[in-house]
Amino acid sequence: MKKIRDLSCSEAEFEYEKIRGEYEKYCKSGLSLDLSRGKPNSDQLNASAGILDLSLSREDCINPLGIDYRNYGFVDGIPEAKELFADLLGLDKNNIVVAGNSSLQLMYDALSRAMLFGTPDSTCPWCREEGLKWICVVPGYDRHFKITEDLGFELISVKMTENGPDMDEVERLCLDPKVKGIWCVPKYSNPTGNTYSDETVRRLASMKCAAPDFRIMWDNAYAVHAFGENDDKLLDIFEEAKKYGNENRVLYFASTSKITLPGAGVAIVAASEANIADIKRRMGTQTIGYDKINQLRHVLYFKNAENVMLHMKKLGGALNTKFEILSEALMPLKEAGVAEWTKPNGGYFISLDVTFGSAKRVYELMKNAGVTLTSAGATFPYGIDPEDKNLRLAPSYPADEDLALASKILVLAVLLSALETKIGK
């Protein structure tokens, strides 16, 4: 097909009728496909079957010092799990808390604590301050935005570039003492798949913040989630922040949700000494301790970080196939000049930009054909994409053949929407 903008009116009418015909056939075929959430598929879950197979003996549960992990204690997690995560992610094992299965919960709890008590750098609990603001890199992760929305922050959008957030804008915003923090998915970002450049990490670590208790929520959800050999490198933000005396600024999160099982993984928070002390103190009131046996299961299953990386290589290969299927299938949209998308080296998402004002329409056309996409707008604060053009595509969940079919329908939906605009339907 020619570029849609180059079609004559009659050519456009013709293409419209042709594509509508094809599209409507799919609508009648009763499909039920889902590209909406970054969910591992069955094959990926099966790759961690060993962790559920693991039969733990009494001896397995007692550590060399004679401490029984089946019992109470160790609110900050078992030392063996700290070591595993430290090795895997290049963190200091003394500055890690290993918790339950949800890193989102650790993020929420960190901010909820800041609201109720303030941080080690605060002069008062955040809930005593008025008009607080939070920076959201867009397109971004809806569950992040929702946390700060619920906690009452005004959400400020900053554009994502291929090198990370627009840092000029971030630095400008941080001069406002009401701006308390920023959400970051620094590697294989959700949804663009881009990794923050060294310069971006340095600027985040060193920038002037009017709020002394400014926090970078560093959600390294896709730290070890490359599709192949070509793994993006992310600078160590703690090391950079230390150079500027800003190490309290960073709260680092990760989990095994997309390494082992989303429904039964292990999550961590890593931070400076002062932050970790504060977290442990508050957590010591909040909980009697997290599930240590599931931490132990992960340790016994993987044994070391190298094995995690081998496991991730296997998962990455399968995901690569899915991302290839999707991005290959989308090629006609490039020819027609009606969409742009990212092709990341890892992570879970492709960020698809369609033409201005048509993302919602594409979502609706897909829904009518039985394919669920992430809601248009979900990648923006308050669910509102001001240009109505971004769609987050999550190819991980469907089987390859379903994904191929969904991609085909997506191409029809995007073309149809663009042609509708062109011919004024």
> In whole angstroms, how close is the CB of 112 to its own copies at the nearest point?
6
State which residue, 49 or 331, has the beta carbon closest to its own copies: 49
* Least distance CB 412 / its own copies (angstroms): 28
Asked whether 249 and 155 are in contact (CB, 8 A), the reply is: no
Residue 152: both structure tokens together: 């009452």
Shortest reach from residue 200's CB to its own copies, in Å: 27
Closest approach, Cβ 353 to its own copies, in A, equals: 26
Tell me whether residue 61 or residue 423 sits nearer to its own copies (CB atom).
61
Nearer to its own copies, 8 or 55 (CB): 55
**Smallest distance, its own copies to C-beta of residue 332, A:** 32
Closest distance to its own copies from the beta carbon of 278 (Å): 12
Which residue, 141 or 218, has its beta carbon nearer to its own copies? 141
Q: Closer to its own copies at the Cβ: 74 or 227? A: 74
**Minimum CB–partner distance for residue 370 and its own copies (Å):** 17
How far is the CA of 401 from the CAs of 100, 321, 405, in angstroms? 35, 11, 6
Hey, what are 245's tokens? 């005396």
User: Which residues neighbour 345 within 8 Å (Cβ) at sequence distance 6 or greater?
Assistant: 188, 193, 195, 226, 227, 228, 230, 231, 232
Q: Closest distance between its own copies and the C-beta of residue 351, in Å? A: 20
**Binding residues vs its own copies (CB under 8 A):** 37, 39-40, 42, 45-46, 48-49, 52-58, 60-61, 68-73, 100-102, 104-105, 108-109, 112, 115-117, 125, 127, 143, 146-147, 150-151, 257, 261-264, 282, 285-294
Shortest Å distance, C-beta 413 to its own copies:
26
Whose Cβ is closer to its own copies: residue 284's or residue 357's? 284
Of 217 and 411, which has the nearer Cβ to its own copies? 217
Q: CA angle 308-312-313, nearest 5°?
A: 120
Q: Which is nearer to its own copies, 180 or 361 (CB)?
A: 180
**CA–CA separation, 364 and 370 (whole Å):** 10
Q: Are 390 and 352 in contact (CB under 8 A)?
A: yes
Buried b (16+ CB within 10 A) or exposed e, 1-32: beebeebeeeebeebbeebbeebeebeeeeee
Helix (H, G, I), strand (E, B) or coil at 106: helix
Contact assessment for residue 379 and residue 392, using Cβ atoms and an 8 Å cutoff: yes
Write the DSSP string, 353-420.
Answer: EESTT-HHHHHHHHHHTTEEEPPTTTTSGGG--TTS-EEEE-TTSS-HHHHHHHHHHHHHHHHHHHHH
Residue 58 CA to residue 65 CA, distance in Å, equals 14
290: left (phi over 0), alpha (psi -120 to 50) or beta: beta
Structure tokens at 238: 């703690």
Q: Which is nearer to its own copies, 62 or 423 (CB)?
A: 62
